[in-house]
Amino acid sequence: MFGKHFYNKNIRNIVVLFGTVFNDITIKRTKADGTVVKQFKVPIAYGPAQKYITIIEQGFVTPNKTVNNELVAKEAIGLTLPRMSFEIVQMNYDGTRKLQTTKKIKKSHAFDNQSLTTIYTPVPYNFDIELSVMVKNSDDGTQILEQILPFFTPEFQVTMNEMSTMGVKRDVPIILNGIDTEDTYEGDMLTRRTLIHTLSFQVQGHIYGYTGEQGIIKEVDINSAATFNDNEFSMNTDVKQKAEDPSTNEIALSLSNTTGTFTVGEVITSSGGATGTVVSKTVLGHSMVLTIISGIFAATQTITGGTSNATSTIVSVSEGKATNKDYQPADGSIPTTTTITDL
């Protein structure tokens, strides 16, 4: 569809997930004194329950075969009980779990730092699955049910690799909606009895689209404009992202009442006694980034440049890891192209 072939095996993974949850259920045969005579695992397979019921009732007819050059007639082979089967009976879009459709999940390549693998957020779907427990006596049925029901209240969370190629793991809810019981025994004593417990589940999964490639942004050209005092200020500058240095302790200051011009590299001092080195600043001095030397910078404090003697009042302070991702001119200087136009 739309000229792109992709197959993420999302529905198949839902089937595998569901079957794995119920593939370790066992039955014990005991004597009256409680001694275990036999213990075995209950087989489970994907497919409609009616198919297995037909085989149980009528047997599986084998093809003709030749033994010692003699033709052997067809024979019917029945299935042993207990056993379980499950199938997806319905899939519905779930708008209550919808995510932002334009958002992308990104993953970097282990040996390539030039591009990223991307995929849009998945589409939420509810998968209605019926689990059929087929037994020939009620005790086997209750053994199986009591190994299932305590875990569903009514929801059971399972962690799955939802999109292994993108490294996406998610806790998938499996919700038990109800249980129906049917006893198909009718007729004489020669008719095989089949007791069927049908458990209705809903699995809240997701379906992903196709993956794409996206380059990594290393340089940015910025055209910015602002209005100050009825004048239009604009500048064109080529900027690059600063290399992150986790050892630095940088903060960004928003300023007002600036007099003079601060210079990059000078040490500034606040009225509270804090000191720091100017890393970058805007042309008109409305904000700057500095590396803290000592003390704490806070709003309403006055800062003074140690070389320029410029002064300004701190309006707000932004600090933390994000401040290591500020931008500065590519050549480390203040932009030289400035145009001021009267309005």
Cis, peptide link before residue 82, omega less than 30° from 0: yes
pLDDT, residue 157, reads 94
Cα(264)–Cα(277) distance, rounded to whole angstroms? 8
Cα(127)–Cα(316) distance, rounded to whole angstroms? 51
pLDDT, residue 187, reads 59
Task: Output the six-digit token pair for 310.
Answer: 């410029």
Beta strands 83-93; 44-46: pairing state: parallel
Closest CA to 172 of 45, 10, 335, 340: 10
Are 278 and 268 in contact, with CB atoms under 8 Å apart?
A: yes
For 232, the 3-state DSSP assignment is: strand
Cα(282)–Cα(256) distance, rounded to whole angstroms? 12
Cα(338)–Cα(342) distance, rounded to whole angstroms? 13
**Maximum distance among all alpha carbons in the chain?**
112
Q: Which fold has domain 10-213?
A: STM4215-like (3.30.2000)
Amino acid at 227: T
Cα(195)–Cα(343) distance, rounded to whole angstroms? 87
Task: Output the six-digit token pair for 59.
Answer: 């047997």
pLDDT, residue 338, reads 39
Closest CA to 73 of 83, 61, 82, 64: 64
CB burial of 272-295 (b: ≥16 within 10 Å; e: otherwise) equals eebbbebbbbbeebbbbbbebeee
Task: Output the six-digit token pair for 291.
Answer: 């590396």
pLDDT digits over 122-138, tens only?
Answer: 999 999 999 999 998 89
Q: Domain residues of the chain, as ranges?
A: 10-213, 233-342
pLDDT, residue 295, reads 86
List, for the chain, all residue ranges whose pLDDT scores fall below the cut of 70.
1-2, 56-78, 110-111, 184-192, 224-248, 283-285, 319-343
Are 301 and 314 in contact, with CB atoms under 8 Å apart?
A: yes
For 320, the 3-state DSSP assignment is: coil
Residue whose token pair is 């004597």: 31
Residue whose token pair is 């084998």: 62
Cα(133)–Cα(141) distance, rounded to whole angstroms? 7
The DSSP output letter for 321 is: G
pLDDT digits over 135-174, tens only?
Answer: 988 999 999 999 999 999 999 999 999 998 888 999 999 9
Cα(263)–Cα(310) distance, rounded to whole angstroms? 9
Task: Output the six-digit token pair for 69.
Answer: 């050059």
Neighbours of 245 (CB within 10 A): 10
Count of positions (residues) in the chain: 343
